[in-house]
Amino acid sequence: MSFGQASGPPAPAKQVQQLLALLEAAGHTDFRDARGPLGFTQRQAAGKFTRSEVEAFIEQLEAEGVGDGAGAAPPPPAAATAAPATPKATPRTAAPRAGGSSTELALRKVSSTMLAAELQRRGWGVVQP
């Protein structure tokens, strides 16, 4: 197999469009915009997927609640009021690692209030340090 070539049959256009719709519901503009957070390769960022790849990414996004309104909707008011309105910045105990997974990088950009609200929505108890 040549470098950068897909290792399977190409995904149907319908599934690629479904994946793009889920990415847009998650707040991305296109495949290239989602490359870092989802870990797309250059080939995938160009919109070229195999059947197994597109199915895996669709399942991943649907499991995260994207597309059914859960990912795009703001957290319920009760969860938002339980978290502090202006969280204090906590000092980091260690320097951030170079690189890191795409999930780690995405979580660093999310405010502590939003993280607390999402955890409470999932049934976790959240206490301010």
- Condensed to tens digits (0 to 9), the pLDDT of residues 90-112 reads 445 455 555 567 777 788 888 88
How far is 10 from 27, CA to CA, in rounded Å?
A: 25
Smallest CA-to-CA distance from 35 within 52, 48, 51, 50 is with 48
Residue 73 pLDDT greater than 70, yes or no: no
**Residue 19 pLDDT:** 92
Residue, of 39 and 129, whose pLDDT is higher:
39
How far is Cα of residue 20 from the mean position of the Cα atoms in its chain? Answer: 13
More confident residue, 19 or 87: 19
Which residue did the predictor score with more confidence, 33 or 97?
33
* 53-72 mean pLDDT: 76
3 state DSSP class of 121:
helix
State the Cα–Cα distance between residues 68 and 39, nearest whole angstrom: 22
Task: Give residue-wise pLDDT tens across range 44-56.
Answer: 999 999 999 999 9
What region does 50 belong to: left with phi over 0, alpha with psi -120 to 50, or beta?
Answer: beta
Q: In whole numbers, what is the pLDDT of the chain averaged over residues?
A: 76
At residue 100, the pLDDT reads: 64
Assign 86 a pLDDT band (cuts: 50, 70, 90): very low
CA distances from 50 to 11, 25, 30, 54, 70 (A): 5, 22, 18, 6, 27
> Which is higher by pLDDT, 39 or 96?
39
